[in-house]
Structure 1
Amino acid sequence: MSRIKTLLLSASLLGLSSGVAISAEMTVLASIKPVHALVAGVMKNVGTPGLLVEGNASPHAYSLKPSQAAALQEATLVFWVGHDLETFLDKPLETIATDGVSISLAEAPGVTRLPFRDAGADVHDDHGHDDHKHDDHSHDDDGHSEAAHADDGHGHDHGEGATDPHVWLDPANAKAMTLHIAETLSQADPQNAERYRQNAADLTARIETMTQEIAAELAPVQEQGYVVFHDAYQYFEKRFGLSQVGAITLSPEATPSAARIAEIQHRIEDTGAVCVFSEPQFNPKLVNVVIEGTPARTGTLDPLGSTLPDSADLYVELMHGMARAFKDCLAPAE
């Protein structure tokens, strides 16, 4: 890591709490709410990172505000998932945040990245239930191949070598990301290194407990088929053995064709899928069109924790919230 340059920003601009013990040279930003939560957990009782994508905004189609560009210009460390998710940060990190260091957590040691799936394919068979009940930081990637990305109205071409960026939805990845955050902060701010590492140990233990609780909660609904708005959930599905049968679109920016909607409706009928999930970041009307004439119910998945208050607890809360949403919609009606 390059030598940390002395940077001073107001507490209001950086989102830093007043009276914190963090080094005056350190200013920390996080891109999206799940990343912010992990960074905030590691920085507990030291400082609070700033957040770029707030509320229910989507990182897939975000534009920086002038105040955020100013914060980037003065930032020491910027934690983000990476090029495949926060595309709005690609150029600013090169042209604005020139004095800081950006950390792509998708590339952190121990993080498993999966190739995009073809939203037109039956993905149920990819979700074996026996190989995801483990505690290490990686999956066995044998058997995974690059998903096909033909321009068939299901989404856009993600580019050769692109991987699914929703890595935080596997708690094993979140633990690996947490440890990397702690080491990065410890190098940049050695006086607080011990606290960062202890906070990371506490957070990873909490994530492990959460993983066990979610696994038990979702075990009864593993075989219930469902459809999602866009294919963002394979990390969660593979970890907990869930049975997605299709996605309306690969990319939330792409509007599915009438033929695609009809295809999903047929798939719901053929597979007996019991639920179609929307997301708070996108218009739910499309999901209502998809379920018309089918017995499927609707639910909402929030992979960003957009409705939750920003805090170090947000990651665990959003994962528990997703588990509840799956269970509530997939459980057989009484």
Structure 2
Amino acid sequence: MSRMRLALSLTAALIGGAASAQAPRVAVDIAPVHSLVARVMEGVGAPDLIVQSGASPHEYSLRPSEAAALQDADLVFWIGPGLTPWLTDTLETLASDAVVSELLDAPGTIALEFRESALFEAHDHDDHADHDDHDDHGDEDHAEHAHKDHDHAEDAHDDHGHKDAGHEDHAHGEHDPHAWLSPQNARNWLNVIAGQLSAADPDNASIYFANAAAGRAEMETLIDEVNATLAPVRGGEFIVFHDAYQYFEADFDFPAAGAISLSDASDPSPARIAEIQGRIAEQAVDCVLTEPQFNSGLVATVLDGTQAKTGIIDPLGSDLEPGPALYPALIGNLATALAECM
């Protein structure tokens, strides 16, 4: 795969000529999206990462350097206010002159509705998927879909202090924001990103689209590799710490049985924990997956008295070096951790 990337990058350089001296200044919210943008910008420039590795994007305090990156940005790529509600006002204040692209709203994005229940049924994805055409959108036409000065404050969910009391009092947007965990979405976003960059920097458009094409080919290889990893354990039952993985579940037809916490990672109620414990006992759940950013004690409580194994997964790739290689490593690591836990 690295040889293919090198060959396509060289081809892009020959087609587009030398990259312009001044690349667009680009800021990106989280490391997985930063990886996709960095892949498209290879040979031209590098984007700035706003939410640093190891931090939860749901709540974050900007460092001065990150605020400066937003203030200087020509373009901003972010998932949207459902993931980083605190960033909405910040973008309006610091990046008012930037072209802001909300990827969850991008044409071709598969968007799934929030799941409120502790336990999931296998058909949940089919019932709640919002497909905006699953064709190869994107090429140059995506440039016209740039979003500027979005006002999505009404969609932001700022309920991190709420407890899960029977699923009430959770204000959030319509869709689960963890959409980057679908490689199909990531594949589509590569063209969205190339379109926006090309609109801002036409001199390097051929490089951006050649890089996006290479990235899309790599994504197909990644999907095949993940399917091969999961094939021996497909059909196993697992529980996740917080409901962040339904895009991965839907892409690879490997549904979770439930989640200890809601998608926003708010604290679960005793009733929700009891539901999860019941599912583990009744259906002989094989694995409960935790995350490095959250309370491992809750997982220990859920596992108490069961034979289920536990493993660690990370939807943000916190232990990975930011850059073009992070995204495929992140998805591959998710598949490996799940397979090893089953």
Query: Shorter-chain-normalised TM-score: which range?
Result: 0.7 to 0.9
**Relative contact order: is structure 1 or structure 2 higher (C-alpha 8 Å, sep ≥ 6)?**
2
CA root-mean-square deviation: 2.2
SS in 1 for 2:195: helix
SS in structure 1 opposite 2:268? Answer: coil
Match in the other structure for 1:221: 233
Query: In the TM superposition, what is the alpha-carbon distance from 1:25 to its structure 2 partner?
Result: 6.5
Matched, 1:186 2:184: no
Q: Which residue of 2 aligns with 1:143?
A: none
1: CA distance, partners of 2:120 / 2:196? 40
Give the C-alpha shift of residue 153 in structure 1. 4.0
One of 277, 295, 298 as aligned partner of 2:307 = 295
Quick one: distance in 2 between partners of 1:103 and 1:246?
32
| Aligned position for 1:101 | 99
Instruction: Return the alpha-carbon distance in structure 2 between the equivalents of residues 219 and 77 of structure 1.
Output: 40
Question: What's the TM-score once normalised by structure 1's chain length?
Answer: 0.83
- Work out which of the residue numbers 300, 322, 328 in structure 1 matches 2:334: 322
- Would the aligned equivalents of 1:31 and 1:80 in 2 still touch at CA under 8 Å? yes
1:67 aligns with 2:65: yes
- Correspondence for 1:281: 293
In 2, the alpha carbon distance for the partners of 1:76 and 1:57 equals 25
User: What pairs with 1:1-334 in structure 2 (closer than 5 Å)?
Assistant: 21-24=19-22, 26-126=24-124, 136=135, 152-154=165-167, 157-159=170-172, 162-330=174-342
Task: Indicate conservation of the 8 Å contact 1:137/1:172, yes or no.
Answer: no
8 Å CA contact retained: 2:113, 2:174: yes
Residue ranges of structure 2 left out of the alignment (5+ in a row): 1-17, 138-162
Runs of 4+ in 1 over 6 A off after TM superposition: none
Q: Structure 1 vs Structure 2: percent identity of aligned residues? A: 48
TM-score (norm 2): 0.81
Tell me if the contact between 2:80 and 2:102 (Cα under 8 Å) persists in the aligned partners: yes
Query: Closer, same or farther in 2 for the Cα pair 1:211/1:257, shift >3 Å?
Result: same
For the residue of structure 2 that corresponds to 1:214, the secondary structure is helix
Q: Distance in 2 between matches of 1:228 and 1:253?
A: 11
Structure 1 unpaired stretches of 5+: 1-19, 139-149
Q: Decide whether the 8 Å contact of 2:165 with 2:269 is kept in 1.
A: no
Shift, 1:113, TM fit: 0.4
| Count of aligned pairs between the two proteins | 294
